[in-house]
Amino acid sequence: MTISAVAELQESYPMTHLVAHTEHNVDEDQTIKDGSTVSAWGCAAQVWDVSGHTASHVAYILDIDGQKHCFCGDTLFSAGCGRVFTGTIEQLHNSFKRLNGLPAETLLYPAHEYTASNLRFGLSIEPTNDAMQQALIQAEEKTTQSIPTLPVTLEHERAINVFLRTQEPSVIAGVKSKTTIDDDKSLAVFAALRELKNSF
């Protein structure tokens, strides 16, 4: 998590309510952990541990008028996932499983937009995935027009994000065509995908 500007933001906006995990080493007004609740935009947001990218990464889940909204930080990107820094690949894999348990219509708000690049990587693994091909065309068009590709639904991600598709035969075959894996279990495929993305 980038926290270098927090003090400056607090100085400029003294009424800011700072919410943070204890490991972030900032002077927070509210300390959070998995299961905490915070108030945001007049709504209660659940805090979920989605470690992996970092050891203490969190997501915020809001329910607004029956629609779930997930601010997933650097754990899940559209068509991709974050690098492993201070967390572990096992944690990241488990976090993906947890996020994948949300309702299909959940809107996901990743912290960065690497959509087109992630889709190009996904197509290097699963080149005949029509949904991915169409998503890449749309992402490139939106980028050209300076229109964001986010948020996206979890349903959309299930079709175009190889990190959510680790048990699909086409993804397993694509990984095996590029590297050796010990078995076809989801974690092994997920870890291999992350390694391949690191050098893509």
Q: Can you give the CATH number for the domain in which 135 is found?
A: 3.60.15.10
- For 4-114, where are the alpha helices, taking DSSP H only? 6-12, 89-100
Flag whether 22 is in a domain.
Answer: no
pLDDT, residue 147, reads: 97
Mean pLDDT of the chain: 94
18: in domain? no
Residue at 67 is within a domain:
yes
Domain assignment present for residue 111? The answer is yes
Residues 81-115 have pLDDT tens digits of 999 999 999 999 999 999 999 999 999 999 999 99
- Is 184 inside any structural domain? yes
Query: What angle, 0 to 180 degrees and rounded to 10, lies between the N-to-C axes of helices 169-176 and 115-125?
Result: 80
Q: Which of 1-5, 41-45, 190-194 comes out lowest in average pLDDT?
A: 1-5
pLDDT of amino acid 1: 47
Question: Confidence band (pLDDT; 50, 70, 90) for 26?
Answer: confident
Query: Residue 84: what pLDDT?
Result: 98
In a domain, 10, yes or no: no
Calculate mean pLDDT across residues 161-174: 98
Count of domains observed in the chain: 1
Under 8 Å between Cβ of 45 and 35 = no
Q: Is residue 6 part of a domain?
A: no
The pLDDT assigned to 168 comes to 98
- The pLDDT, as a whole number, for residue 186 is 98
| Helix, strand, coil fractions of the chain, as percent rounded to 5 | 40, 20, 40
Q: Which domain holds residue 175?
A: 33-198
**Percent of the chain scored above 90 by pLDDT?**
82
Could you tell me if residue 48 is inside a domain? yes
pLDDT at 7 over 90: no
